[in-house]
Amino acid sequence: MSANNGQAVALGIDIGTSGARAAAIDLKGNSVGFASAPFSSPEESRQAAWWWNRVAEAVERLAQKTDLGSIQGVAVDGTSGTVLSLDHADEPTGQVLMYNDPCPDGAIVDSIAKNAPAGSTAVGANSGLARAIHLSRQDGARSIVHQADWILMKLGCPERVSDENNALKTGFDLETECWPDWIEAAGMDVSKLPVVYRAGMKVAPVEGHLRNIGLPASAWFHAGTTDGCASFLATGASAIGDAVTALGSTIVLKLASDAPINAPEYGIYSHRVGRFWLVGGASNSGGNVVRALIGDERLDELTEKIDPTRKLDLDFYPLLRPGERFPFNDPQYPPRLTPRPADDSEFFQAILEGMAEIERLGYQRLRELGAPALASLRTVGGGARNPVWTTMRVRAMGIDTLAAKSVEAAVGTAALVLARLDNASA
């Protein structure tokens, strides 16, 4: 690579539920430019035309304040499982199914369950494959792509391509690296699906929109990833044993492993990201429980009253309703929120202690299934800002937490590109 430190060499673009973001990083992985373009309403987040409008705005804003003339590669991340249908002009037909939209056709879900191999991540009403099959049968649907795939096409990529991370829930086989025969038997016309590359691989020279805003002719489009994988990379986690806990509405654990672990009985699956596998799962506990039981307006007040060195040990398992995905996968798993302390700050403390234990059990489960021991732990999400919770988690996990380098998925996608710039075929 021929660029000096401080120059933008990799461009990452994130399209999520709140809008679009674009980040440029230098050879050391440091951010040298960032811009965003939020959706103005929830309805925009469900419309492909607005995805592109916001991406174009974010990239153009970045170009106005950052020299993109040294960019060597660009990639896009999107929400995992969001799919849309394209017509013969490669434009959206208007049919979009988001990552959290269940497939409206139960017969498709049943057909997938009948044909899928054991442990497939494409099983269930919320699988990307179920959504893809449904959309492929709608009028005018010539092809099916993921959210990130289409944005890459709009940016100027001349091919209809995807990455193995976004394609995983659509049934892509990571071992054979192809669309397997069983998804055809389940009802998916494989010819309508994109060609899949490993995450971060070079795909084609940059042309079209990105050339018009200043990227050089030597720059390449790279296969992208999912927003979850990108968020992991953004933190600076990059070695076997590095872990990232996302403390948002739910608690999501991700750990860099030297081998894949797929255990649907525990809600665990793996993505391949460069030199390692990203294994993990998501609990139904998290900020949604705190918001419902405590309320956002009282968090600071109650946090100040908690002494994290005095453990309550009430053995709470904070859920809003029965049902857990990870570290236990049980649709009837019961919440434990009693005995309720009379003092609200102690009730809040018991909830946080319970969530810290869920995190500990999650990493313990991964270790039991063959994942490496924790070498480092970083935290993202709103819960990362609570110092009392952090103290509880450090005690429960037995490991200090490291600061995240960035919490922007676009930075992680740029980092994915950076890791591939020296080796186009790795």
d(CA 367, CA 361): 10
Helical residues (DSSP H) of 223-343, grouped into ranges: 227-234, 287-293, 299-305
Q: Are 46 and 115 contained in the same domain?
A: yes
pLDDT of 346 reads: 97
375 within some domain: yes
What does pLDDT average to over the chain?
93
d(CA 123, CA 375): 33
Cβ(171)–Cβ(141) under 8 Å? no
Supply φ then ψ for residue 282, to 5 degrees: -135, 130
Cβ(342)–Cβ(377) under 8 Å? no
Cβ(301)–Cβ(310) under 8 Å? no
Nearest of 141, 142, 132, 42 to residue 83 by alpha carbon: 132
Tens digits of residue pLDDT in 339-395? 999 999 999 999 999 999 999 999 999 999 999 999 999 999 888 889 999 999 999
Q: Are 222 and 169 contained in the same domain?
A: yes
pLDDT of 26 reads: 96
The alpha carbon torsion through 306, 311, 313, 319 (nearest 10 deg) reads 40
Tens digits of residue pLDDT in 175-210? 999 999 999 999 999 999 999 999 999 999 999 999
Hey, what are 180's tokens?
Answer: 């397997």
344 within some domain: yes
Tens digits of residue pLDDT in 17-57? 899 999 999 999 999 999 999 999 989 999 999 999 999 99
Q: Which positions ≥6 away from 296 have C-beta within 8 Å?
A: none
4 within some domain: no
Q: Are 270 and 223 contained in the same domain?
A: no
* Helix, strand and coil percent figures for the chain, each rounded to 5: 35, 25, 40
Q: Are 328 and 252 contained in the same domain?
A: yes
305 within some domain: yes
pTM as predicted = 0.89
Q: Are 371 and 413 contained in the same domain?
A: no
d(CA 381, CA 390): 12
Q: Are 219 and 244 contained in the same domain?
A: no
Instruction: Estimate to the nearest angstrom the gap between the alpha carbon of 282 and the chain centroid.
Output: 12
Domain of residue 360 covers 240-402
d(CA 274, CA 254): 15
3 within some domain: no
Question: Model confidence at 331, in pLDDT bands (50, 70, 90)?
Answer: confident
Q: Are 59 and 41 contained in the same domain?
A: yes
Q: What is the mean pLDDT of residues 158-168?
A: 95
pLDDT above 90 coverage of the chain, percent? 85
Number of domains in the chain: 2
Tens digits of residue pLDDT in 96-118? 999 889 999 999 999 999 999 98
* pLDDT above 80 (res 158): yes
Cβ(57)–Cβ(20) under 8 Å? yes
Hey, what are 53's tokens?
Answer: 């409008």
Cβ(60)–Cβ(68) under 8 Å? no
Nearest of 50, 49, 21, 23 to residue 36 by alpha carbon: 21
Hey, what are 268's tokens?
Answer: 């665990």
117 within some domain: yes
Block residue for tokens 């590669």: 73
CATH number at residue 389: 3.30.420.40
Nearest of 153, 125, 140, 120 to residue 192 by alpha carbon: 140
Q: Which positions ≥6 away from 56 have C-beta within 8 Å?
A: 154, 209
d(CA 341, CA 312): 10
* pLDDT above 90 (res 269): no
Q: Are 378 and 341 contained in the same domain?
A: yes
Q: Are 259 and 372 contained in the same domain?
A: yes
Q: Are 216 and 288 contained in the same domain?
A: no
